[in-house]
Amino acid sequence: MDKDFNVQHSMYSQERLSEEKLLGEEHPDDAKIHILRSNTHWNCHVYLWGFQLFFFLISLTILSRALFHQAPLRPCNCEDHMPMWSPALEAVRGTGHTQRFDGSFSTPNAFKGPPSPDIDGAWDSITYANGGVINISEETLQAVNASAAYSVKLAPEIGGGYMASVEALHQLHCLNILRQATYEDYYKDKAEPWQDSPQTLRYHLDHCIDNLRQKIMCDADAGILTYVWVKEHPMPFPDFSVQHKCRNFDALKDWVVDHQIYTNELYGVERLPGTLELDTPP
């Protein structure tokens, strides 16, 4: 694209140069000759200008196409790539990078494989098991279109504003309890949700499945999976190690750490005078 543009552009420049040379052959003092030449070369000039205009328009088209296709942060036509506004976006702005997923079918990694204290430690470090509650302003509450009437207000002593947390941490929490559910024997006496009644636990797991379903459908990841041949596998094998565009998750988590108001359970959050309550959970 750029190469084409340069070729077209230099052709355009050569045309202009040769025309300047042509005009330069005129004798500037000889008005009669000038008029004569102007008349006799009029058709020639129209032709040259038309020729130049043609190449100029081609160059312009190529240049604008190059600009519009290459600039990832172009201000137009990107509405459908924009996330919901959040104060935490400031943490991930500029952290975009390409990352190839670990799509291995059977090789364990820090988060994957039979349960162990190490695996639990890795999951705790990304789910923010010990809180992750932040305070947000009333303007932020309105900007994210949350309920102003029922949202939990925080007392001034613990920061003021409204109680909030960040989606990615909740989503990872959901994925973690689904993971634990698949290793029920290991977790049933350890993890907190397994102390709940069977009905509540069922709701919790179904809630998590449905939340992650909506998140995945909402993102509508259009990335391309490819297939490879593997010895002794009769069928094409999917290569799940797909390259993605990612944000820096650690930057988001650090932002939560910087904005959290306490690290223990729900310590310090109480109904303030005049609080409104919903009849049933949302």
**Site pattern 11..40 for ligand NAG (x: CB under 6 A):** ------------------------------
Tokens of 60: 């312009």
Of 137 and 195, the one with the shorter C-beta distance to ligand NAG is 137
As beta bridge partners, residue 28 has none
Binding window for ligand NAG (CB under 6 A); candidates: 24-32, 93-101, 157-165, 238-246: 157-165
Of 147 and 226, the one with the shorter C-beta distance to ligand NAG is 147
Residue 214 three-state SS = helix
Q: Is residue 86 at the binding interface for ligand NAG, with CB under 6 A as the rule?
A: no
Q: Is residue 161 at the binding interface for ligand NAG, with CB under 6 A as the rule?
A: yes
CB of 262 to ligand NAG, least distance (A): 9
Q: Is residue 136 at the binding interface for ligand NAG, with CB under 6 A as the rule?
A: yes
Q: Is residue 89 at the binding interface for ligand NAG, with CB under 6 A as the rule?
A: no
Q: Which position among 39, 98, 145, 280 is part of the footprint of ligand NAG (CB under 6 A)? A: 145
Query: Tell me, what amino acid is at 237?
Result: F
Of 136 and 181, the one with the shorter C-beta distance to ligand NAG is 136
DSSP state of 260: E
**Burial of residue 231 (number of CB atoms within 10 Å: 0-12, 13-18, 19+):** exposed
Cβ atoms of 72 and 97 within 8 Å: the answer is no
Of 131 and 161, the one with the shorter C-beta distance to ligand NAG is 161
Q: Is residue 261 at the binding interface for ligand NAG, with CB under 6 A as the rule?
A: yes
Q: How far is the first Cα of the chain from the last one, in angstroms, to the nearest whole number?
A: 53
Of 154 and 252, the one with the shorter C-beta distance to ligand NAG is 154
What Å distances lie between residue 6 and 20, 56, 122, CA to CA? 21, 12, 52
Tell me which residue has tokens 């909506």: 214
DSSP state of 84: P
Rounded Cα distance, 53 and 58, in Å: 9
E strand or H helix at 239, and its extent? strand 237-239
Q: Which position among 130, 137, 142, 200 is part of the footprint of ligand NAG (CB under 6 A)? A: 137
Q: Is residue 166 at the binding interface for ligand NAG, with CB under 6 A as the rule?
A: no
What are the start-end ranges of the H helices in the chain?
A: 2-24, 31-40, 42-70, 89-92, 117-127, 138-143, 167-182, 184-187, 198-219, 249-259
**Site pattern 95..134 for ligand NAG (x: CB under 6 A):** ----------------------------------------
Contact footprint for ligand NAG (CB under 6 A):
135-137, 145, 159-161, 261
